[in-house]
Structure 1
């Protein structure tokens, strides 16, 4: 049995055997880090499959580092190391915003001290459930009971579905009620909690809410924090959720220590390049390989590995000691030996596979420990391999210790800021890289090139700190810099520092200081801004005596359709920083440069150019808000309003000396429909009784436009000017006549014109006109029909809801059929298109007396459609074959129904009706139309056989719906035929 298992699983047995052999080696202290030579030789003699099995048996992934030398025959992509080095946590993983999961999805942000969260809080709603809902849930629970082993019955929890999964997505509503006092108390707590939003966690990550007490949330995601709050007994009456706000705090918390992100994003394995040239000062040691090629009388190519005794066995030369010597010295030595001892032979010596060395990274490294690295590795290579330096470790005092002595001190700032690698020396076996704690640190914030927290070494002044930060930005104001520090009394103080002076630059720093450099004011000094509907908006340098035409020298500066008569200017008053708004007439300023229209500009003026098409609220409304903020009881808000027939009605700033014509200019001047003779000015003032009173003033626009001061009144705050419309002014109205008239087309109409008049203008009917089938449609009737259809559909939906409740209690076939019919009718009603048809008698209309009731007064958009003579009779509805038949005088209504195959079982034979060609409807109530039991049929008529809805016990309202749907379909067909 033992042999059969061994033969069947040779790889497994080999793995077990080698693991047993390795385990013996682990008992020896000498094997604490590296396998023995016998173990390496055994590993080399195995097949690649067995080597892979050993790697898997030892827990290696095939990609971790190995202590097997590269010249041992083990493939370099499957190196084995004892113990296996754990991949260090990278800096990128510390930043929640950049970390990702193994699948590449963004890693949820976790709360920490100083984070800002937003709480949402709602009082749980408790109300009584409807009895039918409770009964339905009871039946579902009974149906979803599961049988447990032994025949026991397991009752699923309330809310479990048919599949047995407990826990509904919606929280159950308990059948309880609260008192008004309890509701008021809970609402008061909720209001007090939400009033303090947003909340900031303290430095330990604890949420402090006075009504709830301290709740630790550090390390939780927002979803986990929500669950944490839900477990609080004090919040049992509330539904609380937590939203993390990604706010960046101000102050030193917004600064990051400089340089530590150098090690962010490093790979989990360290594989230094092996194809780089070996420097001449490289010191050879055991494990290195020399590639030797002999050329000349003796030819050969050898790979000579340095043994543990420090020697190589050179063919024909014997052992040669090379360990501890520089590569350049060894190469010259070998070349000399070959030249002297092997006549006629030349040699080429290069480095082959390099040895692996064991170094230690200790102190404040991310993952301190022992590491196997390449013989070409430097201090920074080992730091990368160990995951970098912790935030509490020093970047400026990285020490390389050899044999107990510090041989080199590496300042990583030299590498980061100057690219200096002179101190980044190569490592030797047994070297120790020690990272001491960080030294004195200061913060640099504000308008500098590299804001961060810097570690000080030889820097003591603010000037040296600015040099570390890359200097000031162009927007920085060095004269207003501040230095925050903790004084000797352990108080946080702020000290002003003028970095533009020698004294400020030489101010001494101390650990914990933060130097802040503010930016200059964003306002433009000694400049004028122009924006709006022009070709070259922007800022212009201000010069004393500068006028409007200096920035707008011609009308070509404006874009097409710009309003050149109303240009608005916002000006700041230096004395109180208030604003004044006034307008300018660019056209008048260009025509008379020396007039007051070409006013003198001031620094910080902002000039706005409007266009005539769009509104002006986007610019004027913010200016009005500023003016309203300046208003007082003795200085009301400076604004006036214009409405009516002007091109741009609205509210405008009240300018000094503004008159009626100025307000007309602001409104874009009078519209074409404006009544130019008279306008109304409503003036609001506070009377002697302290109440606001209105005064109506009639304005003679003609005199005001001519410059009469008595009509062109000076305006006051809140004046309201209304421009009237010309009496009976309206857009041009027209109607359309199509079909069998002599001159079909569109006809403009005057106010009160009738159909008889327009028919006369159209030349009257042709000899093929079918006047009885004329279709007259009107737009306002179409809109009225649309509203009625919507109302009917809403009412029918309500009827269907009631019918559904009745059908739920009855399981009969009629109930289900009624619902199906109702749904079909509702769909037809929703899809019906309004036509807006007006039933008319065209022959009577064209022959009517002027002013009679049959002379139809036309409206804009009316349409008259006159078809040709028709000889068809159409049958639709609940018949076997809805079709049209050739008119025959001897046939009646029932005859045409019979010619269509007769009625269906669902037809209502008692309500069959006829729709005449003019749109009128004839039923049995019109007894004069009956002859022989049927309605007299005329050419163009439509016989409608409706659906019998009352047999299925629906509401009687449904019968009217069927008639509406059929009639609309008939009218639409008549219109569409044109």
Structure 2
């Protein structure tokens, strides 16, 4: 009892420890993913979505479980759908570009590997990976967030003459000409430079141009050649190492603060260092203050649309750049060159806005724009026609919707079918007729069916109407030409499209029997030549033609025509008078005295084993053994057997027959396998290729459906499906026939001597000396044959019968293929006699069905009923 108490104590402590760790884990997880209810997916960048997925992965959640958790925390269905779409987009992008988007267990990518970031590929390919969808749509926002751009100032420029010198600048002064001297001087904090032998000179706050003039005057006291109307000495001032300046970046910036920049830096360099304006920052009213005075107002749109940089001034030390909040921003959607959010000034119109959007796309509806506006605490829609684009002023929050042009044609007609150039054509001035359209299409093809064409028209209510035309009468001028209307479609069928493909078949004694394309005036001789000519076994007389009967009321199935041809295939008058018709089937009979060679094989212990031709229809086993030189001294005639072919045939369906015929014709017309065909045959080959491709597509669809059905049956574990799969019957194409070769050789031509058939194989083994035991024995094995041993003795050598052995059905298979079973009489069993090479087979007992409780109850009820019945009968008998 004490040990049991200790066990319960340990178990309780373990459970408390597990619950403690679960609580700690849940607390850590809640700290990471506890604010999903306030999630705004449009404000998240791909990088933030990536971090969210990583947090969920580290906590053991899949993407779908992350969405479910967000819904439980109160995330709206709209935001949940956006989250699912963003995660799905990242999954497709990572899987498509990086090849690492494979799923594991329903998660985005399985456990995260810190050595290999799943999102590296997409991050490298997208320069705006860190931006949210809303930020990407703000015009100008990408300018300062493109990792492929560099706004650092270039220091390899010639010294600008308007550059303002300040403390820390390095001035390189070169004196050249009649006198030569170089000075390397640094500007002191007081703004002076100290020139040897001359003293300090004030240059701070001056431009390079002003400082050069001042230095020229000062140095002229030493180098007189610098001054005068005809100087012979000159001076040049250059900047060496430039100083650094500090600029304050404040307002609606991504990274506001004080930045140290090179003194060559401009406003754009400062904005790039601070990450540019944020989502609420203005792009068109960036202010630069110097000594508390406004010195420049920068409009980034001027740079983006016109390349204008006049306001992009060079910054000075202690300048302040202020990015105020945006005052007026509108959104443009629809077929324009550049969709997104645009900042507008009060005096700008829709015409000015077109410069920022890049203009309309060709598919845009330019006649009118739709403006959605918030006014007086409600929304309203304003239609702006194209003539008011220059006077309509957008307001803050406006949504400008650009419509699309209608997907309809105003002057189109089409022609399809058997014409030289099918396609779309212009209606011109509305006087185009059927004849004129045919001229535009360069006329009909030779196979065009002109008796009837169809003109499809679109009614005013957009319903389809069809008008039948006798095209031949219109072309001959016997019928009035038809004036075409907008969206008319003239369809001219081909004769081949409305008739079955004509073919003829040839069977029998030809080199290439099969189906061939029909040609007008074709005779039997032409078809024989096409099929490779007659075989030696063929007869040129009594050739039959089976022809389709055109009159079904006659009761005939086919018209049989019999004729003969010249053995040299010379054209005879009889052949001329009997041309072939479509679908004729020609039968070339075998010559009465000709028999094709038939082979049998003798294997094993004969003098001359090998293949032998059957010499006559009544050749028997003894005949071929004699021709094989008889048995040799090692032969065991009792073990000889005969292997004979079996035939199982399953007829094809009608569709399969049709496909086979088309493929046969197609194969005969293939120029890569046969002779090159003429134009008609080439066209027929193309038509058949198209039809066979369609048939193949249908078969693929059917196979796909069958595969899906088999898969569904497999997952459903349907018993009938499993039984058919497991118990599938395998039909053999050969059977083993037991023969008594000793009796055959002793009495040739007797009842044991079978008549041979093509493909027969006679096997004569060597002297056999073993007996094999298989089936329900403890150790299936092979034992040496002993003449006086019986079946039970050999079974004992194999360990005896198993518990499942069905002893009464034990049977023996002899070496020649014969089999004999065990006979029973009362309690005695008479086992078959054994011979060398025999095989003892012990079958298994059939599995007995155990009675269920319900069956036992039913059996007991039946016995009780019988007992009552017997008792009743007995009582009645006693009473009588």
Query: Structure 1 length normalisation: TM-score?
Result: 0.45
